[in-house]
Structure 1
Amino acid sequence: MAQAFIRIRKVCVAALLTVTLATGGQAEELAVVGTGDGIEMLQALATAYNAEPGETRIAVPPSIGSGGAVAAVGGERQKLGRVARPLTEAEKAQGLVEVPLVRIPSAIFVHRDAGVTGLTSDQVAGIFSGRIENWNAVGGPDLRIRVVRREETDSTLAVLRASMPGWRDLVLTTRSKTATTTQDAVETVRQTPGAIGFGPFSPALAGTMTVLAIDGHAPRDPGYPSAVTLALIYKAATRDAASAAFLAFATSERAGRLLAERGGAPLKP
């Protein structure tokens, strides 16, 4: 009688465990919040990570900017962030740590109606300053140039100012649309004839737009003048096993191959 009871109890426990795993044992979600730069790359890493068995599922939500990542992780509302600019000394003093992942070229892209495939750096500066207003001035059709810019705190704009010839003190034309995220900039240029914008390079950009060569160099050429570094950030006080596991994966050789396939140059941690 006792043995039969033990067998029945084992069966019930096993059944309960099966139901728990099937319904209530869902993986915990760990969001990596922040910049829109390189978002497709990080989504690819998340997909690969989530395909393996584990207790944590990685999510890469829409952009809230590098500053949003610093505020969320620094304020201990999130455990992992993504940034496209270096942390300041003040941010590091708050306990924030950055882990550089990949170098991403800063692409200049145009609507296909612009009719050009390359510009000189002087022509690019002329367009974004408003000095050049029609595509026919640079070899394109008689079509008004529509500039799509980013806010001054944008990481790609900061990189362009630091590295692209003629951009350090460039005053961007007031006759322009300000995009609030990378995705907004891409979609605006994609949908607007005559439009030009900038953002982190991704091979996917070439699908429906033209990514310009600058001074004869394509974005992935060694001589291309401008790139941004995408990094993950965490706060030492809130780093846990789940965030440490994803950080280890994101800096692995496998992750490096995924990043390279999507147009980036992986960096060793």
Structure 2
Amino acid sequence: MTTPLRCAKRAFRAAIRGGEGALPAPCRSSPAPSRTAIWRGWPVAFLLVLVVALAGCQAGGHGLVVAGSTSVQPVMEKIVEAFRRARPGVRVTVEGGGSSAGIMAAVTGAATFGMSSRALKADHPDEAALRVFPLALDGIAVIVHPSNVVTGLHLDQLRDLFTGRIRTWKAVGGPDREVHLIVREEGSGTRGAFDEMVLTRGKEHLRPDAYALVQDSSGGVREVVRGDPDAIGFVSLGVVNESVRALAIDGVEPTATTVRDGSYRLLRPFVLVAREEPAGLARELWEFAVSSATEPILAQEGLVRVGH
């Protein structure tokens, strides 16, 4: 059976085969870890291909499709796995692609639900028209290598690091070594939330330093930081493990408790979105997702349930 993921991969390969001009050329920089060449434009191309592929696959009768944020994806996969155990024989596919891809998939009907780890944009009519179903709250953890002696940062220091105004760890209490910045791709809900909460100051919207290394998932950011003593990145709190260390921000460590009481400032929503009120199997899935049956899953992922 051809799954939506296989459809998307096949379509993406076809787009790549369309010629070198079909995708933007990578930016080039020096070989240091924080200056690795990155594909700045490919997430947009992949987003379009993914939505088209999901639309074709959903039309082909593959049951429910839930697509979008790679931060929401792990917890949603576990929720769907538990749902399948409760409802044997149901067909529900969960795919990544990023929050913007999930929102677009919901707008076009390519997915039953889009997954987003950012708030919808009120000034975008298509997004504003979607129905929003809150799932949980997540903290964005700023992570470093376990050997890094820096244990916390003020928000201003964090902003200056990621915009390149501070380039060495010495300036924030660490060794005299270059900081290697790791960021998520544009269109990512994690990136959007980080940009809004950290890189926005009044009416000034700053951008990450041009030499930052881009990764397409929280797991990818964690793996790069795990292997680089001078790296710093930001991820969903749920993917933090013993291979990296989360920093306190303004004196508050990211935990389920500090996310719940709001004392940790870097918070963002995990939501499902749809273009119409869910019915039938889609309604059953949503009601299961916010039931007490999924409380242990959310707790395991470091997420906080929101009221319904």
TM-score (norm 2): 0.69
Distance 1:31 1:192 in 2: 37
Deviation of 1:240 after TM superposition, in Å, equals 4.2
- Letter of the aligned partner of 2:274 in structure 1? Y
2: CA distance between counterparts of 1:42 and 1:53? 16
Q: Decide whether the 8 Å contact of 2:69 with 2:188 is kept in 1.
A: no
RMSD: 2.5
- Contact 2:72 2:115 (8 Å CA) reproduced: no
- Pair 1:71-2:104 in alignment: yes
Q: In the alignment, which residue of structure 2 is the partner of 1:236?
A: 276
- 1:82 matched to which residue of 2? 115
How far the C-alpha of 1:146 sits from its partner, in A, is: 0.4
Which residue, 299, 303, 306 being the options, matches 1:260? Answer: 299
Deviation at 1:83, TM superposition (A): 0.9
Aligned residue number for residue 209 of structure 1: 244
CA contact (8 A) 2:134 2:271 kept: yes
Counterpart in 2 of 1:22? Answer: none
Q: For residue 173 of structure 1, what is the amino acid of its counterpart?
A: D
After superposition, residues 66-145 of structure 1 pair within 5 angstroms as: 66-89=99-122, 90-91=125-126, 96-145=130-179
2:208 counterpart of 1:172? yes
Partner Cα separation in structure 2 for residue 100 and residue 73 of structure 1: 15
Equivalent residue, structure 1, for 2:228: 192
SS of aligned partner of 2:111:
coil
Partner of 1:183: 219
Q: Alpha-carbon deviations, 1:60-80, whole Å to 9, x = none?
A: 33x211111122222222212
1:93 is displaced (CA, Å) by: 6.3
Letter in 2 for 1:254: A
Counterpart amino acid of residue 178 in structure 1: V
Q: 4+ residue stretches of structure 1 with deviation over 4 A?
A: 165-168
Deviation at 1:92, TM superposition (A): 5.1
2:117, 2:270 within 8 Å by CA — same for their partners in 1?
Answer: yes
Stretch of structure 1 that moved more, 123-132 or 166-175: 166-175
Q: Mapping of 1:146-161 within 5 angstroms? A: 146-161=180-195
Percent identical across equivalent pairs?
Answer: 26
Q: Following the alignment from structure 2 to structure 1, what is the Cα–Cα distance between the partners of residues 250 and 111?
A: 41
Q: TM-score, normalised by structure 1?
A: 0.78
CA contact (8 A) 1:122 1:165 kept: no
Which residue identity lines up with residue 229 of structure 1 in the other structure? Answer: P
> Greater Rg, structure 1 or structure 2?
1
> 1:157-208 CA distances to partner (integer Å, 9 max, x unpaired)?
3323443486563342122112233333233222333111112211x41321
Tell me, in whole angstroms, the C-alpha distance in 2 between the residues paired with 1:123 and 1:111: 18
- SS of 2:86's partner is coil
